[in-house]
A and B are shown apart, each in its own frame.
Chain A
């Protein structure tokens, strides 16, 4: 089967399979409950979204002037021709598109055009663990700081503590993360020598980068928790709980907080997308071997294959995480309909 033909089959598959899933999801709703149906529909939408994003990015990239082999260093025209032939760039764009699409189901994005010794899949596989580690650590910072600060600020609403904490939390979101990184690096790395400046070789090397990455989102979580908690605390059942003589601590931590966490759960999706994007600055600043740097660099270098791989990675992650966030949201709050 030629690559183009396979591409056509995949294209058809990307249209039809989600449609079937969608239909199945509709049927499953009656027989197996809303969870399965939700999952089916979301996966169906993911399929379509992936196809649309892939197509959009592919053609956007080709529309932009420049190509992966436009080195400024001198290159004879025939050398460029040779290179383009090697990567199939001499074929019609439609054919290239189908060929690229054909590899999508097997996550085969082809060889990387700038780092010639690697396939795109290898690069992503290498870079993902450090990035995930960084992202998870940032997430941990986000929740570890955000939730307690939010709770404190809400329970002491209007007090100096509230104002100070809210101000500090807002401050966290109010500076670009590289400024935060620069400001913290000075005392923690250079003056005191407590933390390593770059690389990811020891456990303590994760601390500072993930903090700089997570802090802005911690601030948002704190605000969400605060607002959510304030809202929950005015509700009748809380009054009832209080009236029953439950201690304020138990009311807040045991009951109200769960309700107040709902917006936080919804926020996880966008937060992770933000952490993903933010990581490309932080990875660069701290020289961490993650996928973040490839993200921008591949687009700047017009590395078509790596770019597409990164875009698809981003899309699937963001879409998937949003779906998971919705799912959790739905499970936590039965009033929300999963659709």
Chain B
């Protein structure tokens, strides 16, 4: 900066740059305010329903699409959506016939019919789509083979004999098939847009959907804005014009936004704030914060291929040594339910309430006896048990739970090392059975015990414990689906779960609650066990 001139030039340049930055950043951010703002958690993986699985993704997609069937947020029953009525199911439960509504339109006005829907389902299964959750449709004839190899598209049992009829032919009975068809990965995608724009169809400028809203703006780590879709079949019932889905990773930031009145709905709150939130916003105060039970279980997997956890009694001892009541009272603190089973209470087998076998409990004396017995069977003593690794994630609550578990297992004379792993490593380690004990969780996608119990079927991608039990597998995948009645199915599930809990390839800790907060002026937000809140019903009443 030899002279004043150069220096001034540099300064001027910097000033202009700053000005431009301010302009570009703030101009983007100062969109006109939305009718409703929801802090949604992390950015969706994609706006293509086929490739998403995360719950936060599902919340955004539920504003953009409607499936064949939808879930009524009050009753959680599947209700007709694109289908005009509930499907006709054949006697053997293998053929599901849907009558598609007349006059359905995509958000660009193009017609939506059964042929388009069939194409969308086949695209979902096509290996080149690389959809994540294709297991959902593996009950359909030929679906697995097609998804596996890319051959045999015509053999897949999804047929559209005319523009208003869609038929699914199943390989085996899937009693909860209706519930599956409500799930967001199966939302229909627009053939014309996908074929025209290829991978670019998910960009807001090319986006075509069929739900109450359509996206107009997405800035990563900031927000997705959706506006009302005039071509939606019940457009006149949709009260909101614009909704913002904020991408906020941290619960603390979500609460900040809520307290500052920058968000109307938040999906998570920091645990440290929970008692105060209950006091200020709880049931007895404004009612904005009412943690409600939700179909989800936090549990620890045990690697059953690693000594001494090859022994059932040792595993059971670990489970019996866990004081779940103390964990939910002192650590999670939002009214979580101590988990005594894998399937959360409140799960239903269609018409029948499923009563999970409440087996897991806290019994230190019994745990000690079992541990001694189990180790004796292995010709080991407590002193021989090496220090084992417990994998947990960096989350605050996870860490606290892990630390409490470590303490409680110490009372058995067992020592573990807590290994705080980043997301990528923990998942890989668990997948490759390169762990002893690792944190895990499952959030129910639909209300059926199979959604949880299928996790521990031997060849399930969700097992990851090395647990194999042919009798368990057959009762979940063979016997239960063919059960004569819902009550019979529930009974079979219960027997299977009892067996599973006795084998203890995992340690249930607690059942989740939904920790969302909703401003009093938001209407149509029905709290339910699936934590499922279709924005179509939302309205603002100040």
Is A41 part of the binding interface, using a Cβ–Cβ cutoff of 8 Å? no
**A220-232 vs B, Cβ < 8 Å mask (1 yes, 0 no):** 0000000000000
Chain B residue nearest to A117 in the complex (CB): B202
CA distance A73 to B423 in the complex (A): 12
Q: Does B484 contact A (CB under 8 A)?
A: no
Does B470 belong to the interface (CB within 8 Å)? Answer: no
A286 to B48, CA, bound (A): 29
Q: Which of the 9-residue segments B128-136, B154-162, B329-337, B525-533 touches chain A?
A: B128-136
Interface status of B462 (Cβ within 8 A of chain A): yes
Partner of B262, one of A199, A285, A302, A328: A199
A66 at the interface (CB under 8 A from B): yes
- Chain A 294-329 residues near chain B, CB threshold 8 A: 294, 300-302, 328
List the A side residues contacting B257 at CB < 8 Å. Answer: 197-199, 287
Q: Mark A54-88, 1 if CB is under 8 A from B, else 0.
A: 00000000001111101111111111011101100
B461 and A77 within 8 A (CB): yes
Shortest Cβ distance from residue A13 to the other chain B in the assembled complex, whole angstroms: 28
On chain B, which size bracket covers the interface? Answer: 35 or more
CA distance A302 to B431 in the complex (A): 15
Q: Known: A71-B53, A300-B422. Contact between A289 and B219, CB under 8 A?
A: yes
Quick check: A67 and B428 within 8 Å, CB to CB? yes
User: Looking across the interface, which residue of chain A has its beta carbon closest to that of B432?
Assistant: A65
CB distance A72 to B426 under 8 Å? yes
A23 within 8 A of B: no
A300–B395 Cα distance when bound, in Å, is 14
Question: Does A31 sit within 8 A of B, measured CB to CB?
Answer: no
Select the stretch in B18-26, B65-73, B186-194, B502-510 that faces chain A: B18-26
Q: Which interface residue of B127, B129, B222 has the most chain A CB atoms within 10 A?
A: B222
Contacts of A53 in B (CB 8 A): none
Quick check: B128 and A86 within 8 Å, CB to CB?
Answer: yes
Which A-chain residue is minimally distant from B201 (CB atoms)? A117
One of A70, A115, A332 near B424 (C-beta < 8 A): A70
User: Chain B 96-138 against A: per-residue CB contact (8 Å), 1 yes, 0 no?
Assistant: 0000000000000000000000000000000111111011000
Q: A76-B461, A78-B127, A302-B424 are in contact. Are A203 and B45 (CB under 8 A)?
A: no
Residue pair A66, B427 in contact (C-beta under 8 Å): yes
State the Cβ distance, A239 to closest chain B Cβ, in Å: 26
> Is the CB of B369 closer than 8 A to any CB of chain A?
no
Interface centre among B17, B45, B221 (most CB of A within 10 A): B221
Return B448 CB to nearest CB of chain A, in Å: 16
Contact (Cβ within 8 A) A79 B130: yes
- Whether B219 and A201, one on each chain, are in contact in the complex, defined by CB atoms closer than 8 angstroms, is no
CB-nearest residue of chain A to B21? A133
Docked Cα-Cα span, A329 to B128, in Å, equals 55
List residues of chain B with CB within 8 A of the CB of A247. Answer: none
Contact among B21, B45, B424 with A300 in the assembled complex (CB-CB below 8 Å): B424
Give the docked Cα–Cα distance between A86 and B425 (Å).
Answer: 22
> Closest approach, in angstroms, between the C-beta of A137 and any C-beta of chain B?
8
Would A300 and B202 be within 8 Å (CB), given that A114-B45, A197-B257, A293-B249 are in contact?
no
**Pick from B26, B202, B249, B424: contact of A201, CB under 8 Å:** B26
Given contacts A74-B460, A76-B135, A79-B131, contact A200 B18 (CB under 8 A): no
CB nearest neighbor in B for A197: B256
Judge whether B210 is part of the interface by a CB distance below 8 angstroms.
no
Tell me whether A86 and B130 are in contact (CB under 8 A). yes
Is the Cβ of B424 less than 8 Å from the Cβ of A116? Answer: no
**Complex CA distance for A193 and B260, rounded to whole angstroms:** 8
The answer to whether A126 and B220 touch across the interface, beta carbons within 8 angstroms, is yes
Give the docked Cα–Cα distance between A127 and B129 (Å): 28
Contact with A along B220-245 (1 / 0, CB 8 A): 11100000000000000000000000
Q: Which residues of A contact B17 (CB under 8 A)?
A: 136
Task: List chain B residues, Cβ under 8 A from A66.
Answer: 424-425, 427-428
Complex Cα distance, B24 from A132, in Å, reads: 11
Q: Which one, B128, B130, B220, B461, contacts A115 given CB within 8 A? A: B220
The contact of B48 among A116, A196, A285, A301, by CB within 8 Å, is A116
Q: Are A133 and B18 in contact, CB atoms less than 8 angstroms apart?
A: yes
Complex alpha-carbon distance, A85 and B434, angstroms: 25
Give the CA-CA distance A67 to B432 in the complex, in Å.
12
Known contacts: A123-B220, A200-B29, A289-B219. The answer to whether A65 contacts B429 by CB under 8 A is yes
Look across to chain A and name the residue whose beta carbon is closest to the beta carbon of B129: A82
Q: Is A200 a contact of B25 with CB atoms below 8 Å?
A: yes
Q: Is the CB of A189 within 8 A of B256?
A: yes
Q: CA A210 – CA B327 in complex, angstroms?
A: 39
Instruction: Tell me if B148 counts as interface (CB < 8 A to partner A).
Output: yes
Q: What per-residue 1/0 map shows which CB atoms of B33-72 lie under 8 Å from chain A?
A: 0000000000101111001010000000000000000000
CB closest chain-A residue, reference B438: A72
Cβ contact within 8 Å between B130 and A82: yes
A86 to B50, CA, bound (A): 14
A196 touches B260 (CB 8 A): yes
Q: Separation in Å of the B142 CB from the closest CB of chain A?
A: 14
| B260→A197 contact, CB < 8 A | yes
Chain B 392-425 interface 0/1 with A at a Cβ cutoff of 8 Å (1 = within): 0000000000000000000000000000001111
Q: Are B220 and A289 in contact (CB under 8 A)?
A: yes
Closest-by-CB residue of A relative to B135 is A76
Residue B455, interface by CB 8 Å: yes
Interface flag for A130 (CB, 8 Å): yes
Which of B21, B218, B221, B461 is the one whose CB lies under 8 Å from A132?
A: B21
Pick from B1, B47, B246: contact of A117, CB below 8 A: B47
**Docked complex Cα distance between A71 and B51 (Å):** 12
Cβ distance A331 to chain B, nearest Cβ, rounded Å: 6
Complex interface: chain A residues within 8 A of B250 (CB): 284-285, 287
Flag B527-542 by CB within 8 Å of A: 1 or 0 each.
Answer: 0000000000000000
Tell me, in angstroms, the Cα distance from A136 to B130 when the chains sit together.
41
- Listed in ascending order, the chain A residues whose CB lies under 8 Å from chain B are 64-68, 70-79, 81-83, 85-86, 111, 114-118, 123, 126-127, 129-130, 132-133, 136-137, 189-190, 193, 196-203, 283-290, 293-294, 300-302, 328, 331-332
A117-B218, A196-B262, A198-B260 given; name 15 further pairs at CB < 8 Å.
Answer: A64-B425, A70-B424, A73-B53, A82-B131, A116-B51, A117-B47, A129-B21, A136-B18, A197-B260, A199-B222, A283-B221, A287-B221, A293-B221, A328-B1, A331-B2
A selection of 12 A-B contacts at a CB cut-off of 8 Å is: A67-B424, A68-B424, A73-B462, A76-B135, A77-B461, A79-B461, A85-B127, A116-B51, A136-B14, A200-B29, A300-B423, A331-B2
CB-CB nearest 6 A-B residue pairs: A74-B462, A197-B256, A74-B461, A66-B428, A289-B222, A289-B221
Seen from chain B, the residues whose Cβ lies within 8 Å of a Cβ on chain A are 1-2, 14, 17-18, 21-22, 24-26, 29-30, 43, 45-48, 51, 53, 127-132, 134-135, 147-148, 199, 202-203, 218-222, 246-250, 252-253, 256-257, 259-260, 262, 422-432, 434, 440, 455, 460-463
